[in-house]
Structure 1
Amino acid sequence: MVMCHVSLLWLLLFGLCPVSVPDSIPIGMFRIECHDRHFWLSVSSNFLGHKFRFDVQADSEVHEVSGQWAAECGYIMALDSWGDLLLRVSYLACLVENQRETEFRLMVWFINQDSNEEEKSYPLLLTCPLQVPWAPRELVCEQNYMEVSVLKLLPPDNHIGTAWVTPAPVELGEGLKEWRVVFRIPALNQEGGMREETVPLKMAHLLGYHINTTSSRILLRCAYGSKMAYTLQWGETDVEVVSATILYKLKWTLLTVDMSVSCTIGQARIDDSDILWSLPRDLPTLVHPPFIEKGLKLGVGGRYLSECVAHQRGYMIHNNNRTLEIRIPFGAEGGIIKSHVIDGLYSQSYFVDVFLLREWEDTAWSLTQQRTFRALFIYHLPRPVTLINKTVPSQREFFISLCCFPHDVSLGNVTVAGQPVLWEEMERNGVRLSQNPFPNNTYMYLFQMPFSHPLIPQKYLGDRFRRYTLYGVFSFILFPDGEIYNHSATVEAELQDVVLPKLEGECTVQGVRTLAYYGNIDSSEWSLYVGRMKLDWELVELGGFSLDPHELYLSLEVPLYAPGMAYEALGLQGLLVNVLVSLIHLETAEEQTHVQRCVFPVRELLVCLPEGRMVVMVDTAGVSPPVNPNHTALLDPACRPLETDNSRAIFSFSIDSCGTFATHDANLNHIIGFLLAVSIRKMEIALLPSTCHPILPNFYLGNTHTKQPCTHTQGILRAVVRNRSDIDKIPILTDQKMHSLPVGG
């Protein structure tokens, strides 16, 4: 490949310009190159106007490059994969000036029209040298035409030793009018049979065949689908064939030359992740066995690829049962990707301009070169976005990548948990977004977001494990159409980082205080229980609880004798109580508990136990004359104190023993009153009136809310009676405090 010469012959062109006065050529908008047997002229997509065209000129003859004329004359104009306008012209094309088979020139005008229909013309004189000598036979399979040129055969030398060479005819009537073309086409009524049809050269031109000669070559060119062309199936590939022989005379010799040409017309297809393009390897119409493969080169975008570069890009050529298979990875370097949104799904189209040079030797031709040009494309292939979760939970941040995008895709917005993440706040909140490019001109997005971000929900799983979840929507903008593709992603990470709530307790003058330290889980996920009663505002008011929230903990104080207070033992040192406080997680049922025990000093107390027993502490300090508590007893003298000190005595007895007796209160259903008498001295009795609930074998006083809070009444009413018969005269005092304990209290 060499750069061709572009000459602006202003003085000459002013006289030849077919459209208007030429404009100056902007720098960088045109690229002109010489490749093997073709001029390559490309115009940058940024320079293309509302309408545009190419005109070519030779002397006073001017033609617009378009349609059938372009195909028959060896021109192709198309947008390449990158959106640039490409004009590719055969050195043997119409209006190309052939300088002794060594240099070729072409005058091209690029006409650019803006939206106001104002035209500007840019003249370019293309000049290319012949870099490699012509092969005996050369075939070209362009995108819009087929071409074959062969070395012109010469008659034997004459007797005086000089070779006879006829000048190259340029007009049909000068030397080609006697030529004939023999076409071989399939016979309609004979399977596999062929028939011949011979036409004069003028008729061949009317059928769409351009036939001409140079000083050394004979040329045939036609558009695809021309008359006398036919299609055959070769493996899985469709091939268009023109089977032709030209008959011509040089002096007194009748010469024939095979001008057959065939080109694959099958399109590329997707095979796994590759674009697969198949071509016949040894078509009988072109190859005369035995043949020897002499060379195979693959090019992309006007450049041949070395084996090393092809390998790096993943390009491969296989010989598969007489078929050449060219595999190009979808999205490989050298092509271009166009993004789409189809039914809400992201898809891609891939375009790559390839050409293939094959060389072989067979029994008919010492060397044949075949050049095939194809724009391979795959439309709207679904390409699911690949999300790679690179999160390392111990680093306490989400780290994900979204791959892979071409340069026509840009991330426009990120939404997390339904809230947009503002670009200007990303860095302040520890959110990071970056791009990572790849050699094939694609890139991935890297997104990092800390677990602690307020838009990241958390869920406690138990055993100190917590799940962090990223609910993200990534909105991509597709250029140039502005389509929006939304990709949803849910990423989870589990980490054993939970600091569980901690319960501590202390004894106060009024009761038991529990401190509930919050930990690092939302306190709304936990329920607080006192005893086995769920703490709510009704219980707080009923029990007279004191709630005091602090920054790090919640303080809960349970008064003595309030619901939730459990009584373990009564001794002279005081009343042993405990408060069981529990925190239970709403979803995992995981429980944190703490039991705080406290001893409260008491002087007098009567306790009715569920198992039908009573425990009484009496204080004799107020009895006159003074009494030794160790000498006291119940009405039954055998019922002696369990423990005494200098003024107090503790009794424990069954409600139907020790001289106690019951009375029935008709106003209270199933309530039985008990009168307790304690003998102080012989003939003196201190009466301790009290009431207790009846205790049945299956009776259990549950932890339910009551209408009246429990309070301790200081002191026990005392009375002195002289005779036992006076007991019946003592009334039951209903204001005496009654204490009931649950089983195990």
Structure 2
Amino acid sequence: MTPGVCLSVTLLLSMWATAKCEQLPDGAFQTVCHDRFLMQAVDLSFAGEDHRFEAVDETGMHPVTKENEAQCGYSVSAVPLLGLMLYRAYYFSCHTENKDDKIEVTCESNFMEVSVRSDVACPTGTRRDDWDAVTQTAYASATSDWQVMFQRVGEEPTPMSLDEAHELRYEFLLTDGRLVFRAPYGQPHSFYTEVNGVPVETIHATLFSRQNWVVLMVDLVAACSMDVGSYDDSGYMMWRTPEVLHPSMSGLHETQFNIGINSEPVEPTVAEERGYIVEKDHGTVRISIPYNTEGGYRKSLVSGDLYEVYFFDLYLEQVSLAEDHMDTRLRFRKTLTTPLLPRPVFTENKTVPEERVFTVYLGDVPDDVALVAVHLNGQAFTVPFMNALGHTITKVIHPNNTHGYTLKVSMEDPVIRQQFSKEDGAMQHTLEINYTLTVLPEYEPFYHLASVMAFTDVSPPVFDAVCTESGISFKLDRRPFDYLWEITIGSDLLTSELADQHGYIMSTDSNSLLLEVPLFSHGFKSTEATLKGFFGTFEITMRDPETSEVQSSSVKTCPFSTTELIMCSTDGRLTVVADLSLAMPNGGNPTRTNLRDKYCGPKETDGTRALFSFPLNSCGSTVKLGKEYVTYENEIFFSKKLRALKNPADPINNIDRVTVQCTYPLSGLFRLFSVYKFESDLAGVGRILHSLLSTEGLRSPTMEPTSVTHSPVHTTRRTRRPVSMRPGYQPPAKYIKVSSFLKNLPKKGKLDIWNEVNIKSLFSFNP
């Protein structure tokens, strides 16, 4: 056997001792010193497409290129998920100063490397036959310069110089007491095998040199697990490596494993707390780490829907003790990445129908995802909402690196779709939501759809009403479902035509309806009259459009001041406040006035006015019948003696005669002239007639009437003065419905026949 010195170390995944770090500029750069390498991170947006790294030593600047980075012990990689460009310079990289060398073996992401001290003895695991064959070749071709042979099974090794090896991207580094060999993955002299079902890449190099009669030989074997890792449904990322990657390691025993993340080992208790698992199974070491482990990274991605990936740098150190009590440290660093994992956001309907506001929560939104727009029933709104009265959106921050958004939309907002459900007897409110979210920093959009519905009880519209000097003003704030009811005055549908007909002032738009009702217009009711004033009431009713049934009403009663007033009620009562200043003799007193019946005096008086209130069929009232109307009439008198004192020459004609009248349409009277009951569809139209003032028509308490809603009264031509009825007299016909009675009369002479048949019994008396 040819004499020589043999050094043999197997190369595996590993890092080295402390690197030397110099302070680098702040800004877009971040520099971190790890236990086995120096790392620089550069923002991708800053790096641009023409970025490059350079190593600097005492000899100058040396570019780090794709061709030499693995050969020189550098690693340059873009990590779009983090938006970073990462640069690593390892302990024995080119142009790196190092001290206190130790025995180390590593398999990096893009290269394999082994370093060995010169005093390490020959390993006992080397097969003698293989060693003898290599030794003979090396001895025969050895020179004083160092040479290298790469061994592959079934191939004859060929020696080459270190310069030739360097051209093939192999790197040999000689330091004080240490030899370093580095090779990128996939070199022509490496080969693949499968150990216990795990793929392994191996490169075997023998370095030799002749020193006089002695040949120095170093046998270097690098073997790395090429397992890419896997993900299981339990939420663990797993990675495997054979416990013995190459036969030269078969003599190692008492193996210990240290595990960590991002090139930093952690204490066994910490590893256990974080859920790290190291298992041995038939010569295979399996590492399991939770996919979302502390120290890892997460990134959102869009592939139709929202997904996420988790990745981290696995660190595993395998320390084995050989028979010669020399330990071998195998350090593995492997970047593990999960597959695309669904990352659904969710919506929760928190609506309380009684609040009449949709409240929808969008939750579990990752930190790198932002909400940029919302479509509400097809209408687009950017986030944050600007000048939005009916809807708001609020961001909610959570401590688990997620956030959410609370959307509130009023059910009265025009964007809400509403439909009345007869089956449920309620209003159905529907809101379709399309959230537009974007993943940062790429601004890649995706969409999340949600639909919410609520049912609310519906109520008829209600008017707000205020009293004015000239009447009553009603206002309705429209709601989308107000169309479910008809708005009526009495039994008549409120329309612009009806308003014009009755003198109402109506204005309307999509948001509100305003109706101003003047005093004494159609439907205006006056009650509780006194000399100080009276109360006026107007009612607006809401009806079911199908059944015409009244569902609700808006009623307003207001006080009004008065000078003169006359009211003709539907139940046959005349109430009048009359100014008697022109009718009173000198020193006259309104308390001494009366109606045609001297026993019917005033209810209330002041210095010039008197209030009378009496049934139409009493106090000497007379009745005048026209073709369409019937008129009740009475007068207010002072005693004849007082009138004569005022003007003896003409005691009657020169004194104001105050006449009061109530006129009703015949078509609206149900029971006419009954001593028991008087019924009319409508209130009568009243007049106060002052003979000296030649005034006809109603004197309004605050203004002149705007219109007369009934045709003028036409009295009959009969001039026969009615005859007073004795008290207790009962007419022969008590309840006669005029409209139906007249329909049954002969066409010719209807009115004459009516007068002839009933005038004596019904009209020729003071009811």
TM-score w.r.t. length of structure 2 = 0.52
Q: Aligned partner of 1:648: which letter? A: A
Q: Give the match for residue 74 of structure 1.
A: 73
Structure-to-structure mapping, 1:211-230, within 5 angstroms: 211=172, 214=175, 216-230=177-191
Q: 2:146 aligns with which of 176, 191, 200?
A: 176
| 1:398 Cα deviation after fit | 1.8
**Quick check: 2:18–2:37 contact (8 Å CA) kept in 1?**
no
Q: Give the match for residue 14 of structure 2.
A: none
Structure 2 residue 90 is the aligned partner of structure 1 residue 87: no
Q: Distance in 2 between matches of 1:360 and 1:240?
A: 20
| 1:76 Cα deviation after fit | 2.0
Distance 1:291 1:491, change over 3 A: farther
Deviations 1:629-686 (A, max 9, x none): xxxxxxxxxxxxxxx953424599xx9xxxx9xxxxxxxxxxxx9679xxxxxxxxxx
Q: Distance in 2 between matches of 1:326 and 1:479?
A: 30
Structure 2 residue 367 is the aligned partner of structure 1 residue 398: no
Structure 2 residue 50 is the aligned partner of structure 1 residue 51: yes
Q: 1:494 aligns with which of 450, 454, 474?
A: 454
Q: Give the match for residue 372 of structure 1.
A: 332
Q: 1:522 aligns with which of 480, 483, 488?
A: 480
Q: Distance in 2 between matches of 1:69 and 1:386?
A: 49
Bigger relative contact order, structure 1 or 2 (CA pairs below 8 A, ≥6 apart): 2
Structure 2 residue 120 is the aligned partner of structure 1 residue 153: yes
Q: Give the match for residue 319 of structure 1.
A: 279
Q: Taking every aligned residue pair, what percent have the same amino acid on both sides?
A: 19
**Quick check: 1:500–1:520 contact (8 Å CA) kept in 2?**
no
**Quick check: 1:688–1:717 contact (8 Å CA) kept in 2?**
no
Q: Distance in 1 between matches of 2:246 and 2:548?
A: 83
Q: Aligned partner of 2:418: which letter? A: K
Structure 2 residue 684 is the aligned partner of structure 1 residue 717: no
Q: Secondary structure at the match of 2:52?
A: strand
Distance 1:451 1:294, change over 3 A: same
Q: Secondary structure at the match of 2:120?
A: coil
**Quick check: 1:139–1:371 contact (8 Å CA) kept in 2?**
yes
Q: Distance in 2 between matches of 1:527 and 1:404?
A: 45
Q: Give the match for residue 319 of structure 2.
A: 359
Q: Aligned partner of 2:152: which letter? A: F
Q: Give the match for residue 198 of structure 1.
A: 157
Q: Give the match for residue 20 of structure 2.
A: 4
Q: Give the match for residue 258 of structure 2.
A: 296
Structure-to-structure mapping, 1:143-542, within 5 angstroms: 143-151=109-117, 152-154=119-121, 174=144, 176-177=146-147, 180-184=149-153, 195=154, 197-200=156-159, 202=161, 205=165, 208-211=169-172, 214=175, 216-233=177-194, 238-242=199-203, 259-268=220-229, 271=232, 276-285=237-246, 288=250, 291-300=253-262, 302-304=263-265, 316-317=276-277, 319=279, 321=281, 322=284, 324-329=286-291, 334-337=296-299, 341-342=302-303, 345-348=305-308, 352-361=312-321, 367-377=327-337, 383-391=343-351, 396=357, 398-407=359-368, 409-417=369-377, 418-420=379-381, 423=384, 425=386, 431-436=392-397, 438-439=399-400, 442-451=401-410, 454=413, 456-457=415-416, 459=418, 468-476=429-437, 478-481=439-442, 483=443, 485=445, 487-492=447-452, 494=454, 496=456, 498-501=458-461, 521-528=479-486
Q: Give the match for residue 639 of structure 2.
A: none
Q: Distance in 1 between matches of 2:266 and 2:95?
A: 31
Q: Aligned partner of 2:181: which letter? A: L
Gaps of 5+ in 1: 8-24, 103-129, 157-171, 185-194, 504-514, 557-578, 605-614, 629-643, 661-672, 677-686, 691-712, 722-745
How big is the alpha-carbon RMSD for the aligned residues of Structure 1 and Structure 2?
6.3
Q: Distance in 1 between matches of 2:18 and 2:213?
A: 43
**Quick check: 1:298–1:354 contact (8 Å CA) kept in 2?**
yes
Distance 1:323 1:584, change over 3 A: farther
Q: Aligned partner of 1:4: which letter? A: K
Q: Give the match for residue 695 of structure 1.
A: none
Structure-to-structure mapping, 1:588-607, within 5 angstroms: 593=551
Deviations 1:492-549 (A, max 9, x none): 253656545579xxxxxxxxxxx99979853444043999x996969979x9999979
| 1:290 Cα deviation after fit | 8.0
Q: Distance in 2 between matches of 1:421 and 1:229?
A: 58
Deviations 1:124-159 (A, max 9, x none): xxxxxx6xx53xxx4312111112334553489xxx
Q: Distance in 1 between matches of 2:757 and 2:492?
A: 47
**Quick check: 2:460–2:542 contact (8 Å CA) kept in 1?**
no
Q: Distance in 1 between matches of 2:206 and 2:322?
A: 18
Q: Aligned partner of 2:107: which letter? A: C
Q: Give the match for residue 621 of structure 2.
A: none
Q: Distance in 2 between matches of 1:281 and 1:252?
A: 40
Q: Distance in 1 between matches of 2:54 and 2:757?
A: 138
Q: Distance in 2 between matches of 1:95 and 1:56?
A: 7
**Quick check: 2:475–2:515 contact (8 Å CA) kept in 1?**
yes
Q: Secondary structure at the match of 1:717?
A: helix
Q: Aligned partner of 2:120: which letter? A: L
| 1:225 Cα deviation after fit | 0.9
**Quick check: 1:426–1:432 contact (8 Å CA) kept in 2?**
no
| 1:95 Cα deviation after fit | 4.2
Matched positions, count: 542
| 1:436 Cα deviation after fit | 1.3
Structure-to-structure mapping, 1:17-32, within 5 angstroms: 26-27=25-26, 32=31
